[in-house]
Amino acid sequence: MADLTGKTALVTGSVQGIGLAVAEALARAGARIAVHGLGGDEQIREVCDGLKDKGAPQAEFFHGDLRDPGQVTHLMQAVADWGGADILVNNAGIQQTAPLAQMPWESWQQILQVNLSAAFLTMQAALPVMAERGYGRVINIASVHGLVASREKSPYVAAKHGLVGLSRVAALEYAAKGSKETGGVTVNCLCPGWTETAIIAPQIEDRAAAHGGDRAAGIADLLAEKQPSLRTSDPAEIGALALWLCDPLAHNMTGAAIPVDGGWTAQ
């Protein structure tokens, strides 16, 4: 396991789901965690305490509404004042489904701002400092929808495709920074398919009910159209992959969009 002692990680959207799982994996490796996301005071306190229990020497919450560029700038300055992010995980995202012709303009703007523009701003702030230090990791949680499309998700698919492209540009610009010894600066995307988070829990429950309460059968039915493995991923699996990318030995792994999708994009 990578030793991230002395490193600081900012994980957006880290109070639940994939973001929390990534934060937990980095905490176990000894990183300080800058927590961010939407949650009440009690939930935030539990998350920070849990990360410290798992090994993070510090875990503090940083506020910032990613729909507002000014707040994103303020978030990054606050993290810089805390020591700066050696590891940046852009995980926060929002989605709304509707046919393209019926998608509200306001929804388009907000989804692009949170899922793409905020990542541009966080990377713009963090990458120059990473280059100076000779080590840095940007891990953008894209989606399988950064590689393929689905109906009624026009802004989400556009944002995630854009995030993959943005990450590749940044990877090229920073590829020569640092060294094998320091770990270099890398920028990659993780592209999960169906992953067991709270968002899909109601869909799984509905499908399981249709199969007499058989949860595995419900999941297989839900995934049959897209994910050939017929198995969901656990958020911890995404966290483990993110942790590997943070290891200095992954210094030449950059500019990649890595699907964790049970064969979805192989079809």
pLDDT, tens digit, 9 for 90 and up, residues 119-138: 999 999 999 999 999 999 99
The answer to whether 156 is a known catalytic residue is: yes
Q: What is the pLDDT of residues 28-84, one digit of tens each?
A: 999 999 999 999 999 999 999 999 999 999 999 999 999 999 999 999 999 999 999
Q: What are the two backbone dihedrals, phi and then psi, of residue 147, each rounded to the nearest 5 degrees?
A: -120, -30
The pLDDT confidence band at residue 201, using thresholds 50, 70 and 90, is confident
Average predicted confidence (pLDDT) for the chain: 96
Residues 6+ apart with CB under 8 A from 242: 22, 25, 26, 89, 139, 190
Helix/strand/coil for 37 = coil
Rounded Cα–Cα distance for residues 26 and 237 (Å) = 13
Would you state the pLDDT for residue 203?
Answer: 83
Helix/strand/coil for 110 = helix
Q: Which amino acid is at 193?
A: G
Task: List, in sequence order, every residue forming a beta bridge with 190; answer none if it has no partner.
Answer: 141, 258
Give the percent of the chain with pLDDT over 70.
100
pTM for this one?
0.96
Of 135, 156, 194, 264, the catalytic one is: 156
For the chain, helix, strand, coil in percent to 5 are: 50, 15, 35
Would you state the pLDDT for residue 202?
Answer: 80
Dihedral sign of CA atoms 98, 100, 104, 106 in order? positive
Q: What is the dihedral of CA 159, 126, 140, 74, to 10 degrees?
A: -60
Q: What is the pLDDT of residues 156-166, one digit of tens each?
A: 999 999 999 99
CATH 3.40.50.2000 corresponds to the domain 8-193+234-259: no
Secondary structure element (H or E) that encloses residue 138, with its range = strand 135-141
What does DSSP say about strands 59-61 and 184-192: parallel, antiparallel, or unpaired?
unpaired
- pLDDT for 1 beyond 80: no
Would you state the pLDDT for residue 233?
Answer: 96
- Listed residue (62, 42, 59) closest to 50, CA to CA: 59
Residues shown for the chain: 267
Q: What are the two backbone dihedrals, phi and then psi, of residue 210, each rounded to the nearest 5 degrees?
A: -70, -15
Would you state the pLDDT for residue 225?
Answer: 83
Domain-wise residue ranges, the chain: 8-193+234-259, 198-232
